[in-house]
Chain A
Amino acid sequence: MTVLVARPVSERRTAGQRHALVATAHTRLMMLMFLFGAVVLLVIGRLGMLAVQTSMADPQARVAAIAGRGDIVDRNGAPLARTIDAWTIAVHPKKLIGDPTDIASKLAALMPEGGDQAHYYAVLTSNRNFAYLQRRASPALVEQVNAIGEPGIVFDRETQRLYPQSTMASHALGFLSTDGHGMSGMERVLDDRLTNPALNGTPVALSLDTRVQAAMDSELSRALNTFSARAAAGIVLDVHTGEVIAMTSLPVFNPNRVGMAGTEELRNSVTQSVYELGSTFKPIAMATAIDTGVVTNMARRFDATHPLQVGRYTIHDERGDPKRWLNIPETLIYSSNVATSRVADEVGAARMQTMFRKLGFDTRPDIELREKARPLWPKYWARTTVMTTAFGHGIAVTPLHLASAYAALVNGGTWRPATLLKVEPGHAAKGRRVISEATSARMRQMLRLIVLRGTGRKGEAPGYRVGGKTGTAEAAVAGGYDRSRNVATFAAAFPMDAPRYVVLAMLDSPQGTKETGGWKTAAWNAAPVVGRTISRVGSMLGVIPDNNRDIDVSDLTPLLWQEPGAKQPTGQ
């Protein structure tokens, strides 16, 4: 057998062929390299994404990064409104697994303030996708609700506005809507400032002092309860800068739970309610008379022996008031309507109106708040109008108007707009001159005499040299006056030798009690509020009580004559 072996044809490739082969190999290698590169890039990219995502996914860090609404603090830096992140408890009713009846009863036991079992049952079985159960929950409550073990109930953190002092100064502070915008008070005024990311790191300082505000709140609410009054208002005002140190309006609302408040609670009586403030206007009328030169001698007497008949209108004094000729200080001390009317008659409508306009009684009160009421300014100034406005009837202003006017009366005669923002020393508003320095000094003496000898004796705070005027007006109702209701006001300033603060308290429709002997005039209810408030806060405000110091009233005391055995004035 022959084997035929054929030598294979040599496969010697041509140079061109080899080249082509090498090129293919190169391209394949290149592709492989690109593939590797792409995979590596992919891995790196994924790593980067993960890194970014994890840093963003940390819920605590995320919440911390969100800048909330700016804080509001008082003049000393005590927080009045802060933004915190609170837990919210919500439910997805459609994802509920457990028995709604059972869960509802547990929720009702844990959160009784949110509603009863039936309410929670209705929420849990409703057709909604999502419902809040509690928007401001404590961590302890979250833990307890979590222990129910229902996956349909979810928890989340949400920034929330908290007012640590709850009802205190609620009308000045205001509250927020659910979407986080100020609805009233300073929250509304400062909305842009507080939500501006560039500025909300630093808190806004208000002119309020929490300690003074707390004292005013507690004294006023005690009086409101004691005398079963409908409403009350209180202000402490710095006479030199117009800063509002305390602003109280009762009844109050809790800005942390606004939903529970009605319109009565939400109204700010200090700036939103106008009242005929009665005899507290008499010092203003007297200041006008003295300043315009109508009365140059304090000893000049006016006839108060009988009621004053002007046209169809008769002006009376209280039954217990002295029926004789009264000089200027006596007119104020006994709060005589008749004598004041005679003075006002000589002053005349034009000058009286000018004074009221200078004090801003014809416009809304000058303060940042938007909740302001327009005063009731008489449409026609008859002779009787001039007389009645002189003792605070026929013209209705807000308590803040009156406080600003008193500040001008005692501070040397300069009226300044009130402000709720802290004023740095030396940056007070320039204001406008209302009365002369000399008239102001005279008014200080007379206001002090009213507290020492007249209707304001219950407003005295030992050592603080208080001066002020009571005012009791019959409450104006549609078409006339309600004799059974009155508005009792005491407007005061202290210390009278160098006035620094005006303190005003007003009670709407106070009732007489056994302790007051049935009296419901300001001397019995509003004046003690002011006296007690001053003795509580005076030293905190930097006024040192001193029994050996007082304003010099020696040139007026000889003018005061008291009938032997006469009763002390009861006030009006």
Chain B
Amino acid sequence: MTAAYRLRGVGWFGGCVVVVLGFYLVSLQVAAERKKLETVNGQIRIAERDIRALETEFDTRGNLAQLERWNGDTLALSAPVAGQFVTSESALAAIDVSQPIGGAADTRMASLLVPSMPVALAQTTAQPQVMAVAVKTAANAALKPTVIRASVAPSRAAEAAIVRALPQRVADKLNEKMAAVAKVRPQAVAMLDDKLLSDNTLGDILSGARAEARRRR
């Protein structure tokens, strides 16, 4: 009887220990989780700071003065002129985009970049076959009534893309002019937006996505 009585004491004690330990374990678990959360938050902060630093570096290396220098050296792109904007849907539909490249009225795509000077292109206004479209992002509401939106692969820096058709004569003249300054590859440049990713890259991305989807299942 006495033994049992004593054991009951031990039992109580043990029970208390288990309960207290249980509580303590819960609080320990919570503390550990909290600590982990803090670590993750810290990592996020560091990552954000790194992103910011990289962004800033990108902006600094590609600042507008530098972009203009590059444009002057190699790209030789100029601002769109009045003839390159279409005012109605029918005018947009009248543009023949299936012309072979290098043909008489071939339509090319290019990003809108600021030129060093609106050179030879000023003459294109007089040419009737010059047709182009300016596609602006929705940001500019003022453009809504006159510009038809089309989804052209948008690039981050250039908000507008122009479909430009150069008459061969003007294009040749332009080429001659630029060749004296630097090696120009208008074709390569103009095709930049045509396809941003090569077939290989696209294939890689697709197969990667498929593999990931399979793993999830």
Show the binding face of A for B, using Cβ within 8 Å: 55, 58, 60-61, 63-65, 76, 78-79, 82, 84-85, 162, 164-168, 210-211, 213-215, 217-218, 462-463, 532, 535-540, 542-547
Are B81 and A544 neighbours in the complex by a CB distance under 8 Å? no
Are A218 and B116 neighbours in the complex by a CB distance under 8 Å? yes
When distances are taken between beta carbons in the complex, the residues of chain A under 8 Å from B83 are: 547
Q: Within the complex, what minimum Cβ distance (angstroms) separates B101 from chain A?
A: 25
- B9-17, B41-49, B175-183, B194-202: which lies at the A interface? B41-49
Complex: how many Å from CA A546 to CA B63?
A: 31
Complex: how many Å from CA A214 to CA B42?
A: 38
Complex: how many Å from CA A165 to CA B56?
A: 10
Interface residues of B in 137-163 (CB under 8 A from A): 139-140, 142-143, 146-147, 159-160
Complex: how many Å from CA A367 to CA B147?
A: 35
Between A and B, 7 residue pairs with Cβ closer than 8 Å are A76-B139, A84-B53, A463-B82, A532-B118, A535-B118, A536-B79, A539-B79
Minimum CB distance partner of A65 in chain B: B45
Complex: how many Å from CA A174 to CA B208?
A: 49
Give the interface centre of B46, B49, B64 by most chain A CB atoms within 10 Å. Answer: B64
Contact of A79 among B45, B59, B87 (CB under 8 A): B59
Complex: how many Å from CA A374 to CA B42?
A: 52
When distances are taken between beta carbons in the complex, the residues of chain B under 8 Å from A546 are: 82, 85, 87
Are B64 and A542 neighbours in the complex by a CB distance under 8 Å? no
When distances are taken between beta carbons in the complex, the residues of chain A under 8 Å from B139 are: 76
Are B82 and A166 neighbours in the complex by a CB distance under 8 Å? no
Given contacts A64-B45, A211-B114, A535-B118, 14 further A-B contacts (CB under 8 A): A64-B46, A64-B48, A84-B52, A85-B53, A164-B59, A210-B64, A214-B68, A214-B114, A535-B79, A538-B79, A539-B80, A539-B85, A539-B134, A542-B142
Q: Does B1 contact A (CB under 8 A)?
A: no
Complex: how many Å from CA A85 to CA B56?
A: 11
When distances are taken between beta carbons in the complex, the residues of chain B under 8 Å from A167 are: 65
When distances are taken between beta carbons in the complex, the residues of chain B under 8 Å from A168 are: 63-65
Q: Does B21 contact A (CB under 8 A)?
A: no
Give the interface centre of A85, A164, A215, A546 by most chain B CB atoms within 10 Å. Answer: A164
Are B85 and A61 neighbours in the complex by a CB distance under 8 Å? no
Q: Does B115 contact A (CB under 8 A)?
A: yes
Are B125 and A162 neighbours in the complex by a CB distance under 8 Å? no
When distances are taken between beta carbons in the complex, the residues of chain A under 8 Å from B147 are: 544
When distances are taken between beta carbons in the complex, the residues of chain B under 8 Å from A162 are: 56, 60
Contact of B125 among A63, A217, A536, A547 (CB under 8 A): A547
Contact of B81 among A164, A165, A545 (CB under 8 A): A545
Q: Within the complex, what minimum Cβ distance (angstroms) separates A252 from chain B?
A: 11
Are A60 and B46 neighbours in the complex by a CB distance under 8 Å? yes
Q: Does B122 contact A (CB under 8 A)?
A: yes
Complex: how many Å from CA A544 to CA B135?
A: 12
Are A545 and B85 neighbours in the complex by a CB distance under 8 Å? yes
Are A547 and B64 neighbours in the complex by a CB distance under 8 Å? no
Are B46 and A165 neighbours in the complex by a CB distance under 8 Å? no
Q: Does B117 contact A (CB under 8 A)?
A: yes
Minimum CB distance partner of A536 in chain B: B79
When distances are taken between beta carbons in the complex, the residues of chain B under 8 Å from A536 are: 79, 114-115, 118
Contact of B64 among A55, A64, A165, A535 (CB under 8 A): A165
Q: Within the complex, what minimum Cβ distance (angstroms) separates A319 from chain B?
A: 32
Minimum CB distance partner of A545 in chain B: B82
Minimum CB distance partner of B82 in chain A: A463
Complex: how many Å from CA A79 to CA B59?
A: 8
Are B160 and A539 neighbours in the complex by a CB distance under 8 Å? yes
Complex: how many Å from CA A82 to CA B49?
A: 12
Contact of A547 among B52, B63, B82, B140 (CB under 8 A): B82
When distances are taken between beta carbons in the complex, the residues of chain B under 8 Å from A78 are: 59
When distances are taken between beta carbons in the complex, the residues of chain A under 8 Å from B79 are: 535-539
When distances are taken between beta carbons in the complex, the residues of chain A under 8 Å from B82 are: 462-463, 545-547
Minimum CB distance partner of B134 in chain A: A539
0 or 1 for each of B31-58: is its CB under 8 Å from A? (1 = yes) = 0000000100010011011001101100
Are A82 and B160 neighbours in the complex by a CB distance under 8 Å? no
Are B85 and A215 neighbours in the complex by a CB distance under 8 Å? no
Are B118 and A544 neighbours in the complex by a CB distance under 8 Å? no
Complex: how many Å from CA A530 to CA B158?
A: 23
Complex: how many Å from CA A68 to CA B53?
A: 13
When distances are taken between beta carbons in the complex, the residues of chain A under 8 Å from B38 are: 55
Are B81 and A463 neighbours in the complex by a CB distance under 8 Å? yes
- Given the known interface contacts A168-B63, A214-B114, the answer about A542 and B56 at a Cβ–Cβ threshold of 8 Å is no
